Amino acid sequence: MTKQIKLLILVLISFSTGYSQSPSWRFLRPTNTGVGAEEHNSINEDKFGNIWTTGRSAIQSEGSVVRFNHTDTIFTCWSNFEGHLPSQFIYEAEVDANDVLWVATADGLCKYDGTTWYTFNTANTPLPSDQIRSVTFDNSNNVWITFQETNFNIGGIAKFDGLTWEVYTPANSDLPNHTCFNILIDSQNNKWIHSLLSVTKFDGTTFTDYNNQNSGLYGPQVYDIELDSLDRLYAITDLNGFYMQINIFDGVNWTYMNHTNTPAMSNYLVNRIDIKNDKMILAESGGSFAVLIFDGLNWSTFFGGDIIRDVFIDSNDQFWVSGISTLSTLKNGVWRDYERYSAGLAEHHQYNIFVDSHDRLWAANGNGGINIFDCPRWESYGPFNQGLYPSPQTLSSVGASICEDSFGNIWFAYNSTDGTVVKIPHGDYKDYAAWEIFNLSNSPVSWVEESFADGFGNVFFYSDYGTHMYSNTTGQWTTWVNNNSPLQYYSYGFGVDSSGKAYFGGFQQIAVYNNGVWSLIDLVAIGSGITTEVNGIAFDSQNDMWLATAQGVWKFDGFTWTNWTTSNASLPSNYITSIAINENDSVFVSGFTAAGILTGGFSVFNGTTWTKFNMANSELPGEQIYDIDLDSKGNLYLNTFGQGITVYRKNQVLGFDCIDYSLQVSTPTSISEVTESLFNQLLSFPNPFTDFTTLEFNSISGDQVAVEIYDVAGKICSSSRFISDQTGTQYLKIDLSNNPSGIYIGKILVGQVSYIVKLTKL
pLDDT at 20: 52
Which residues have C-beta within 8 Å of that of residue 731, sequence separation ≥ 6?
Answer: 694, 695, 696
In angstroms, how far is CA 675 from the centroid of its own chain? 39
pLDDT at 479: 98
Last residue of a domain, one of 188, 206, 224: 206
Rounded-to-integer distance, Cα 603 and Cα 113, Å:
38
pLDDT tens digits, residue range 324-381?
A: 999 999 988 899 999 999 999 999 999 999 999 999 999 999 999 999 999 999 999 9
- Lowest-confidence segment of 281-285, 526-530, 566-570, 754-758 by average pLDDT: 754-758
- Overall average pLDDT of the 203-220 stretch: 95
pLDDT at 208: 98
Do 526 and 611 lie in a common domain?
yes
Q: How many CA atoms lie within 13 A of 288 on its CB side?
A: 13
| Predicted confidence (pLDDT) at residue 525 exceeds the cutoff of 90 | yes
Is the peptide bond preceding residue 220 cis, with omega within 30 degrees of 0?
Answer: yes
pLDDT at 688: 86
pLDDT at 637: 99
pTM here?
0.86
Do 29 and 141 lie in a common domain?
yes
Angle at CA 440, nearest 5°, toward 435 and 446?
Answer: 95
Do 701 and 751 lie in a common domain?
yes
Do 32 and 161 lie in a common domain?
yes
97, part of any domain: yes
pLDDT tens digits, residue range 471-516?
A: 999 999 999 999 999 999 999 999 999 999 999 999 999 999 999 9
pLDDT at 696: 83
167, part of any domain: yes
Neighbours of 654 (CB within 10 A): 16
| Percentage of the chain modeled with pLDDT above 90 | 79
Q: Pseudo-torsion of CA 260, 263, 264, 267, nearest 10°?
A: 70
Last residue of a domain, one of 174, 190, 206: 206
Do 417 and 555 lie in a common domain?
yes
CATH of the domain at 709: 2.60.40.3080
User: Are 498 and 543 spatial neighbours (Cβ–Cβ below 8 Å)?
Assistant: yes
| Predicted confidence (pLDDT) at residue 203 exceeds the cutoff of 50 | yes
Confidence grade of residue 4 (pLDDT, cut at 50, 70, 90): very low
Please name which of 231, 180, 227 lies closest in space to residue 207, comparing C-alpha atoms: 180
Confidence grade of residue 713 (pLDDT, cut at 50, 70, 90): low
What is the average pLDDT value for the chain, to the nearest integer?
A: 92
- Spell out where 594-703 has E strands: 599-605, 610-613, 625-630, 636-640, 645-648, 683-685, 692-699
632, part of any domain: yes
Question: In which domain, by residue range, is 515 found?
Answer: 350-362+392-648
| Predicted confidence (pLDDT) at residue 670 exceeds the cutoff of 50 | no
Do 429 and 542 lie in a common domain?
yes
Do 637 and 680 lie in a common domain?
no
343, part of any domain: no
Please give the helix or strand (H or E) that residue 675 lies within, else none: helix 671-677
Which residues have C-beta within 8 Å of that of residue 723, sequence separation ≥ 6?
Answer: 10, 11, 702, 703, 704, 705
Question: What are the backbone angles phi and psi of residue 434, rounded to the nearest 5°?
Answer: -90, -5
Do 629 and 731 lie in a common domain?
no
pLDDT at 561: 98
The strand pairing partners of 541, in sequence order, are: none
73, part of any domain: yes
| Predicted confidence (pLDDT) at residue 67 exceeds the cutoff of 70 | yes
416, part of any domain: yes
pLDDT at 509: 99
Confidence grade of residue 700 (pLDDT, cut at 50, 70, 90): confident
| Predicted confidence (pLDDT) at residue 318 exceeds the cutoff of 60 | yes
pLDDT tens digits, residue range 226-243?
A: 999 999 999 999 988 789
User: Are 591 and 614 spatial neighbours (Cβ–Cβ below 8 Å)?
Assistant: no
Rounded-to-integer distance, Cα 170 and Cα 196, Å:
14
Do 120 and 5 lie in a common domain?
yes
User: Are 238 and 246 spatial neighbours (Cβ–Cβ below 8 Å)?
Assistant: no
pLDDT at 705: 86
User: Are 466 and 480 spatial neighbours (Cβ–Cβ below 8 Å)?
Assistant: yes
Rounded-to-integer distance, Cα 546 and Cα 295, Å:
65
Confidence grade of residue 42 (pLDDT, cut at 50, 70, 90): very high
Rounded-to-integer distance, Cα 653 and Cα 344, Å:
20
Question: What are the backbone angles phi and psi of residue 335, rounded to the nearest 5°?
Answer: -85, 135
User: Are 509 and 536 spatial neighbours (Cβ–Cβ below 8 Å)?
Assistant: no
pLDDT at 687: 85
| Predicted confidence (pLDDT) at residue 741 exceeds the cutoff of 90 | no
- Within 513-585, residue ranges assigned H as helices are none
429, part of any domain: yes
Rounded-to-integer distance, Cα 308 and Cα 291, Å:
9
- Overall average pLDDT of the 686-711 stretch: 84
335, part of any domain: no
Rounded-to-integer distance, Cα 208 and Cα 210, Å:
7
Last residue of a domain, one of 206, 234, 251: 206
CATH of the domain at 587: 2.130.10.10
Neighbours of 277 (CB within 10 A): 10
Do 34 and 124 lie in a common domain?
yes
pLDDT at 596: 83
Integer distance in angstroms from the first to the last C-alpha of the chain? 59
pLDDT tens digits, residue range 394-416?
A: 889 999 999 999 999 999 999 98
What 3-state DSSP class applies to 427?
A: helix
What 3-state DSSP class applies to 7?
A: strand
Sequential DSSP letters for 198-239:
-EEEE-SS-EEEE-TTTSS---S-EEEEEE-TT--EEEEEES
pLDDT at 555: 99
User: Are 492 and 506 spatial neighbours (Cβ–Cβ below 8 Å)?
Assistant: yes
pLDDT at 728: 78
Do 693 and 644 lie in a common domain?
no
- Lowest-confidence segment of 159-168, 530-539, 583-592, 683-692 by average pLDDT: 683-692
pLDDT at 5: 43
- Spell out where 631-703 has E strands: 636-640, 645-648, 683-685, 692-699
Rounded-to-integer distance, Cα 680 and Cα 762, Å:
25
DSSP3 helix / strand / coil % (the chain, rounded to 5): 0, 45, 50
Do 112 and 176 lie in a common domain?
yes
Please give the helix or strand (H or E) that residue 674 lies within, else none: helix 671-677
Q: Give the total number of structural domains in the chain.
A: 3
pLDDT at 747: 85
- Spell out where 58-198 has E strands: 62-69, 74-79, 90-95, 101-105, 108-112, 117-120, 132-137, 143-148, 155-160, 164-168, 180-185, 191-195
